[in-house]
């Protein structure tokens, strides 16, 4: 693939557009905004996620049912999600309804009214979501881990917020957060569609171009990291759960690619990862064992999760540390490195086979880096990774004194 597969445009107000042609009659379009739970004050915690829920509940021009029917009524889908650093509103629909979607998206982003009656109904939904999350220890433990890793920092807070905070949200508080954190030069509209880029760009000019330019003046607080934390909680669960990990590289680090490959080898989503083969398959101690790497703008999170019978947890932790020690003490054989490079390339290609995934991926890439790498560019980056770089990453991140652990018993 060549760079020309992506078409770019920037509106006068700073909103950036990216388009990739697809032969499918289904269009995928979304707006990605550089604002998430990291940008909340402690009192606001949960409000970015709450906006994701309540942004569909009415605008100056439409009631909630009119928003939902506008796209759902023609067989399309409208959705949203929140991360610690981004908010995304997106949809898929037949390409005959491109203008209908762009007009609706503009109305939602810039004209949402957040009526108190609808907000109060949505509070019940979100609080129920928080309570159900509390009943899922395999997910909750990750957030407990980040809470300890980034203690007293917004990166360590739960995206969903607390029931007490959610109860306190008002239309005015929501509008204040949006005013303080939504900036036109920190928005990207991403499109994958069979309709040509020029037509899409004209539609975006029509419905987004008149919005007033607003330039980001925020300074995000640098992440403060705690190392070597160990905590155990009694949660009366059948299984024991553990997360072991530490801080790692942000998405702008030159070591991100090498560490992504290292994480993939150690405990990525394939069944042939080191942790899966050497702990689950060899000993049968765990059903789920995996490692994850999440890169934020200035810091990353590396975390290994294991869920096992209580009698096996101590043995499982020893085996995890053994695998980490292996990577810190040994240069990977070239044959092994090439095998995992090829695997990673295949996984990336499959993820890009989904137009929705690619729409979200290229939008985030443009927002974060100001450019988009093609799949071939990414392949070249992977090819350049050396065993020495893998060893250096392992020695920096997997230091025993830096690792923290959270356990649920």
At the topology level, CATH places domain 3-208 in Cytochrome Bc1 Complex; Chain A, domain 1 (3.30.830)
Residue 86: which residues within 8 A CB-CB, separation 6 or more?
A: 32, 33, 34, 35, 36, 364, 367
Q: What values do phi and psi take at 393, rounded to 5? A: -60, -45
User: In Å, what is the CA distance from 153 to each residue of 43, 187, 278?
Assistant: 13, 25, 36
Bridge partners, 189 (sequence order): 17, 31
Measured CA to CA, the distance from residue 191 to residue 88 in angstroms comes to 13
Which positions ≥6 away from 119 have C-beta within 8 Å?
54, 57, 169, 170, 171, 174
pLDDT, mean over the chain: 95
Asked if pLDDT for residue 3 goes beyond 50, the answer is: no
Q: Are 276 and 289 in contact (CB under 8 A)?
A: yes
Is residue 91 within 8 A of residue 105, CB to CB? The reply is: yes
Give the whole-angstrom CA distance, residue 333 versus residue 355: 36
Tell me how far apart the alpha carbons of residues 158 and 142 are, in angstroms, rounded to a whole number.
10
32 and 360 Cβ atoms separated by less than 8 Å: yes
| 1 confidence band (pLDDT: 50, 70, 90) | very low
User: Which whole number is the average pLDDT over 341-364?
Assistant: 95
CB distance 44 to 173 below 8 Å: yes
DSSP codes joined into one string, 243-269? EEEEEE--TTSTTHHHHHHHHHHHH-S
Query: Each residue of 196-226: pLDDT tens digit?
Result: 999 999 999 999 999 999 999 888 988 989 9
As annotated, the residues of the chain forming the CATH 3.30.830.10 domain(s) are 3-208, 230-408
- Range with top average pLDDT, 69-73, 131-135, 215-219, 282-286: 69-73
User: pLDDT band at residue 134, thresholds of 50, 70 and 90?
Assistant: confident
Q: How much is the pTM?
A: 0.94
**Which overall architecture, per CATH, does domain 230-408 show?**
2-Layer Sandwich (3.30)
Is 359 within 8 Å of 191 (Cβ atoms)?
yes
Helix (H, G, I), strand (E, B) or coil at 214: coil
User: What pLDDT is recorded for position 238?
Assistant: 84
Share of the chain above pLDDT 70, in %: 99
Please list the residues that pair with 289 across neighbouring strands: 306
pLDDT of residue 2: 44
């Amino acid at each position: 693939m060549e760079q020309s597969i992506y078409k770019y445009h920037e509106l006068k107000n700073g909103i950036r557009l990216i388009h990739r042609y697809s032969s499918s009659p289904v269009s995928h379009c979304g707006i990605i905004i550089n604002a998430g739970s990291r940008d909340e004050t402690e009192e606001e915690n949960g409000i970015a996620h709450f906006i994701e829920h309540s942004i569909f509940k009415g605008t100056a021009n439409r009631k909630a049912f009119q928003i939902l029917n506008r796209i759902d009524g023609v067989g399309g889908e409208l959705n949203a999600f929140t991360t610690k650093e981004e908010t995304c509103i997106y949809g898929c629909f037949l390409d005959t309804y491109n203008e209908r979607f762009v007009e609706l998206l503009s109305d939602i982003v810039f004209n949402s009214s957040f009526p108190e009656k609808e907000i109060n109904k949505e509070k019940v939904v979100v609080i129920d979501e928080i309570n159900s999350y509390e009943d899922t220890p395999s997910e909750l433990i990750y957030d407990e881990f980040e809470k300890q890793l980034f203690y007293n920092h917004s990166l360590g807070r739960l995206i969903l917020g607390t029931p007490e905070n959610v109860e306190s949200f008002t239309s005015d508080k929501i509008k204040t957060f949006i005013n303080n954190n939504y900036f036109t030069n920190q928005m990207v509209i991403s499109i994958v569609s069979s309709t040509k880029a020029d037509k899409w760009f004209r539609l975006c000019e029509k419905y987004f171009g008149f919005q007033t330019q607003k330039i980001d003046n925020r300074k995000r607080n640098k992440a403060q990291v705690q190392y070597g934390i160990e905590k155990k909680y009694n949660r009366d669960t059948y299984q024991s759960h553990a997360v072991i990990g530490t801080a790692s590289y942000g998405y702008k680090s030159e070591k991100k690619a090498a560490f992504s490959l290292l994480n993939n080898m150690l405990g990525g989503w394939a069944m042939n990862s080191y942790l899966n083969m050497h702990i689950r398959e060899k000993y049968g101690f765990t059903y789920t064992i995996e490692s994850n790497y999440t890169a934020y703008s200035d810091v990353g999170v590396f975390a290994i999760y294991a869920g096992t019978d209580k009698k096996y947890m101590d043995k499982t932790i020893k085996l995890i540390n053994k695998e980490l020690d292996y990577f810190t003490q040994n240069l990977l054989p070239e044959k092994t490195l090439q095998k995992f490079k090829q695997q990673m390339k295949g996984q990336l290609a499959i993820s890009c086979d989904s137009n929705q995934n690619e729409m979200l991926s290229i939008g985030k890439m443009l927002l974060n880096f100001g450019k988009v790498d093609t799949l071939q560019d990414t392949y070249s980056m992977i090819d350049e990774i050396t065993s020495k770089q893998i060893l250096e990453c392992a020695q920096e991140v997997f230091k025993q004194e830096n690792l923290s652990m959270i356990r649920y018993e």
